[in-house]
Structure 1
């Protein structure tokens, strides 16, 4: 690390550093070592065994109906026998579809995985996509009633890249500092086909730099639009909602001609302010969204495939006391090579770019300190990976290995006042690289999964440390001769940061299948998260405030790290009560030891604030349960989470608390009538008391939000095979509540910011 203007020797005295340090590895040769160790493990031998029941999972639609209507896939070259699912199966080139297999996949995966299909997203996520994430075990979101972005929380970890959020596999690394979640992903729920969340360490593609897990949102593709057997078609969706939801429209068209297939889609949504359960208007909750996508797939020959895509998003809304605009552009290029009859080569090359800009317009109350601000994150990345399937002696081996890279250039400026820059939001560059491998050895009833990755990062940027400002009204309360000391060994004047570090993240899983319907497993893992630009290069003063704390950088921040265990099981039983019914259930207990956890901190008088590594080891543990039952004419689902944490609290204004409520549960049940053309059901969302996200722990006053339970109704009727009409009601009993992990609303908002009773009528047609 090269840091000019910083005295490293004072770091131990002036910054709290955790007990565990991720080993610094300056040479990229250690990345190659990660792959070499995995390759050496391939010398083991034995016999392969795995059983997979290709039955669809449970969704709002009937599992049996989906089984009969799902398009059949042409089989690819396969090994003699098939392994059980690894924690993250390697992505295959596809054009979407196969919703049934997606929904069922978590119950064959020895890891904490949850998924949501298109039907669930359109039923429960059209009004608020956060409701889909919050119904998953161990998952929540940082709620901001004004900001339409998604901030995924896994097991109480959120923000600054602790959870890697992706759209079509493209990392969403946009972050800004304020009185809200520190990092959002922006996507239109009407353009989503599926969501997959993996909790815990991820040793395959997408896991680089993620401390607690990943959340991937996949947008519509060709097979999500075309009817089985059709080469062209379209999907049109129109909805109207009460309580400010208004009208939404989405249209998508796709065509397949010879070796080329194409999809295009556009969506529009104009939402007004909504009322809470007391009938009080929650101001500045409106938005004006337009989004779209386009994808092209080219089958070069039976073995090679090339794909290009773009997802566009533009939204006007009001948050953080300013009218704002988000403009996001995502670009993807993918190449796959699957030579026929060669199980050693299943190669994937993915290249991506993202360009997201947040613009600040006029202030809602005459505020102008941030007007003209623009924060741009330009991201570039690629992933190269291969999957090999083969037998060594009597052991079947499935090995996925590769390399991933992504770079973000952040530029924060102000067109109206160049001297103001991005406020406390710095400019800079961030790079994360990772070599990874995950190999599954299968013999008899056992699967042994060995994951190993080496990740390193680089941060660089510059700034100017000015003399801290002391508000005059504080002078009588300060000790005689008080002079604010610069932390972290900083000195006045310009500074330059060029910081690199890295480390290994191993993961071991042992799973067994003593009987066909039951698979217990145990996992030990280690992962780390690099400090971000916004944490390392924090700078400036609070805009527009009478009391202006001085925010200072900390180029000596160390990576966060965790070591932990997970004990879980999967259960899949068919024909349990009657012919054709399906029961799926999984559960786990996890425990994590976290070191070097990063939070903001101020001196005793609140004059100087910076990000620090907290000393000591924090404990996070919990229980997660999820399951479904589907008998065709009736269905039920359960998701439950219990969480306990000793993580230090974040500081209001430099992020929000990310503590999950102690207990979360979602219970769903429903019936199907008239040959399953009519579906009716209900859902209960149960949340225990939660820590206020925007109040510093230890402050005076109320620090918690009361727990709450809301009820939803949903129904759909298949008018014809191609036309569906649905009517949903959220918050049926009009409960007044504030969602857990909620940021304060902009403007003179009531305390309870949860949306009141809302009706949503939707018509969807396929041609």
Structure 2
């Protein structure tokens, strides 16, 4: 691949040499632009580079976070290209109220919202498809796997979701949108190509992505494809010490098709493929994740009918190879090579949007249903009697029927949502004598189901065209998982045994949100734009599921007695004057959630305070953008790993990281970017990183230079 990289880089350099200073400047922020105008600019790629105002496309259609009375945030492709090339979680950590599990070795993404993560508490999706793959083993109880090079945008909703994607999502949802036809083909053309070539220091090496798309004359059909490859080696931390197990060998790709048989009917097909080799959880691993989608949108000439329906299939397979400790004195304890954990999921959703009036009241109502079913198989191809270790097999499903209606009258908006969600769990497990849950001894069958109604009500006031305060009350729930109810087996090397608990109740969250949006144009200059979004939340979580260690080497999951309180403040601001821009994201989060047991979940907590400040300036008719980003993370509490609240907590030190970047846009579609992460080469332990291991394993990447050439034509 290195030869290909050099050839591509040479071609990019030659193209750049031909570009002249007569380039058309990027469109500056303009006074009075509407959401629809901003949406069109984003789709055409006409917005200024790294504009903090323009957002991406979400599963439910384009939403501007600064005009939506709900705690939502979006990341654009520019931000992902600059700050998320190595880890998409770095982009999420720059959103208020949002964090990520930063596993040093595992490349998967685990989204944390307001301190809640793992086991489906956050519904993480790729192109609207749930990613329910989970395993038990000193990690976050759930990862989604996607190549950042193929990501076009990320949309996060914090809190209850009363439409598609909200079933069983206790804390909220995150949808990762991969590139499609409109991201590749420029406006007015019937074909397009997109290629990026990146070189990075600190053993990042070369990474490449190439994409192409074709659209038929008249636009009745279109197809797109992309492929990406990267193979970074172990990086060095700020002290110059190599951090083992941080290499990857990632090959990914996608294919998408769009068809319009009639003017009011659109059909979409897609496949996103991921194949990665890495070392985590003491073993070399191979991870394959394949996501397939099919969607139909019927939008006839009627305000009462706009139907969107999707079916999808997801297959994630993790295979354990040799232990990284093979041949060492401790190698005999690691006998899980050959383990395979596979999750096959299939689901669908269908919703209709209607618009009508009741007198002077404008009404928009969304009504639909969603369902997803997982089949989990855990086995061992080398030691069949070991099966999946502590990872059980089984079947689960989650679904819901939902309705959300928005009433607009004068300056008042009322959004009333109600959903009925349900779940099922099926499988077999073994219970031994003296198990802490009191399960009868022997092979047992699990056949569990339950459901509940969850309301959501928002009242927003629009006293001025620039101000929108709102208040929300909501409820949500999260069912127990296969891994929590049918846990079993023992820890390698002995000393700890794990027991099932089929009596677990679903987690329930109830609480309030108080927020406000401010949108001002022409604040300091004639054509500048200012946006502010602030939100305070107070939530009670009942029946929180956590692991406990009872002593004597016995561990299992329980419902934590009583309720836990989550509360915090979230702030997101953005300013763009064309020649200069800046944004601030701040989170203050408090919780009294108990720690998980070491090995059954993340024992560290979301930091109390997280601040991200981004700023920059544009020169040469806005073709050149130069700026930087500062990330501050306060001290992070780490639990004792025994699942007992308020005991033996330790603090990981706070840290501040500084990044710098520059981008130059040529008129022929070529972009050249340079950025430096961890500019001052700090040695630090990322918050929400590993549970166990030496301090070396938990240290983050040292200073890294990245050079990127991106060509679109």
Superposition TM-score, scaled by structure 1 size = 0.84
Deviations 1:377-425 (A, max 9, x none): 0000000110000111111100001000000000000011111010000
Matched, 1:589 2:525: no
The 3 A distance-change label for structure 1 pair 724 and 402 is same
**Matched residue SS, 2:666:** strand
Matched, 1:134 2:68: no
- Distance in 1, matches of 2:587 and 2:161, equals 20
CA contact (8 A) 2:186 2:192 kept: yes
The 3 A distance-change label for structure 1 pair 436 and 646 is same
Deviations 1:622-662 (A, max 9, x none): 00000110000100000000011111111111111352111
CA contact (8 A) 1:313 1:327 kept: yes
Query: Hey, what does 1:495 align to over in structure 2?
Result: 444
CA contact (8 A) 1:694 1:743 kept: no
Superposed displacement of residue 176, structure 1: 0.4
Q: How does 1:513-552 map to 2 (within 5 A)?
A: 513-543=462-492, 545-547=493-495, 549-552=496-499
- Distance in 1, matches of 2:300 and 2:552, equals 63
Superposed displacement of residue 233, structure 1: 1.0
CA contact (8 A) 1:237 1:764 kept: yes
Matched, 1:114 2:63: no
Unaligned runs of 5+ in 1: 1-50, 72-84, 93-100, 468-484
- Distance in 2, matches of 1:393 and 1:344, equals 16
Q: How does 1:226-305 map to 2 (within 5 A)?
A: 226-258=185-217, 259-305=220-266
Query: Hey, what does 2:431 align to over in structure 1?
Result: 465
Question: In the alignment, which of 183, 188, 210 is matched to residue 147 of structure 2?
Answer: 188
Q: How does 1:199-598 map to 2 (within 5 A)?
A: 199-258=158-217, 259-340=220-301, 342-366=302-326, 367=331, 368-467=334-433, 485-543=434-492, 545-547=493-495, 549-598=496-545
Deviations 1:272-317 (A, max 9, x none): 0001111111101000000000011110100111111100000000
CA contact (8 A) 2:599 2:691 kept: no
- Distance in 2, matches of 1:735 and 1:456, equals 47
- Distance in 2, matches of 1:740 and 1:568, equals 27
Unaligned runs of 5+ in 2: 1-32
Matched, 1:684 2:630: yes
CA contact (8 A) 1:389 1:397 kept: yes
Superposed displacement of residue 727, structure 1: 0.4
**Matched residue SS, 1:736:** coil
- Distance in 1, matches of 2:647 and 2:539, equals 31
CA contact (8 A) 1:56 1:67 kept: no
Query: Hey, what does 1:739 align to over in structure 2?
Result: 686
Superposed displacement of residue 65, structure 1: 4.2
**Matched residue SS, 1:146:** coil
Query: Hey, what does 2:28 align to over in structure 1?
Result: none
- Distance in 1, matches of 2:707 and 2:687, equals 27
**Matched residue SS, 1:107:** helix
Matched, 1:176 2:135: yes
Superposed displacement of residue 606, structure 1: 3.2
Deviations 1:543-570 (A, max 9, x none): 2x142x2211100100000110000001
- Distance in 1, matches of 2:317 and 2:405, equals 39
CA contact (8 A) 1:179 1:694 kept: no
The 3 A distance-change label for structure 1 pair 700 and 108 is closer
The 3 A distance-change label for structure 1 pair 90 and 191 is closer
**Matched residue SS, 1:488:** coil
- Single out whichever of 716-725 and 179-188 deviates more from structure 2: 716-725
Question: In the alignment, which of 619, 626, 631 is matched to residue 673 of structure 1?
Answer: 619
**Matched residue SS, 2:65:** helix
CA contact (8 A) 1:331 1:353 kept: yes
Superposed displacement of residue 699, structure 1: 10
CA contact (8 A) 1:62 1:676 kept: no
Residues matched between the structures, number: 668
- Distance in 2, matches of 1:570 and 1:712, equals 28
Deviations 1:238-279 (A, max 9, x none): 000001211110000001004110000000001100011111
- Single out whichever of 650-659 and 293-302 deviates more from structure 2: 650-659
- Distance in 1, matches of 2:171 and 2:104, equals 25
Question: In the alignment, which of 153, 157, 162 is matched to residue 121 of structure 2?
Answer: 162
Superposed displacement of residue 369, structure 1: 1.5
Superposed displacement of residue 749, structure 1: 5.9
Superposed displacement of residue 344, structure 1: 0.3
Superposition RMSD in Å: 2.3
The 3 A distance-change label for structure 1 pair 65 and 159 is closer
Query: Hey, what does 2:60 align to over in structure 1?
Result: 91
**Matched residue SS, 1:487:** coil
Superposition TM-score, scaled by structure 2 size = 0.91
Deviations 1:506-538 (A, max 9, x none): 000000110000000000001110000000110
Superposed displacement of residue 594, structure 1: 0.8
CA contact (8 A) 1:397 1:440 kept: yes
Give the structure, 1 or 2, with the largest relative contact order (CA under 8 Å, sep 6 or more): 1
Query: Hey, what does 1:656 align to over in structure 2?
Result: 602
The 3 A distance-change label for structure 1 pair 179 and 457 is same
- Distance in 1, matches of 2:604 and 2:463, equals 39
CA contact (8 A) 1:638 1:668 kept: yes
Superposed displacement of residue 52, structure 1: 5.3
CA contact (8 A) 2:690 2:698 kept: no
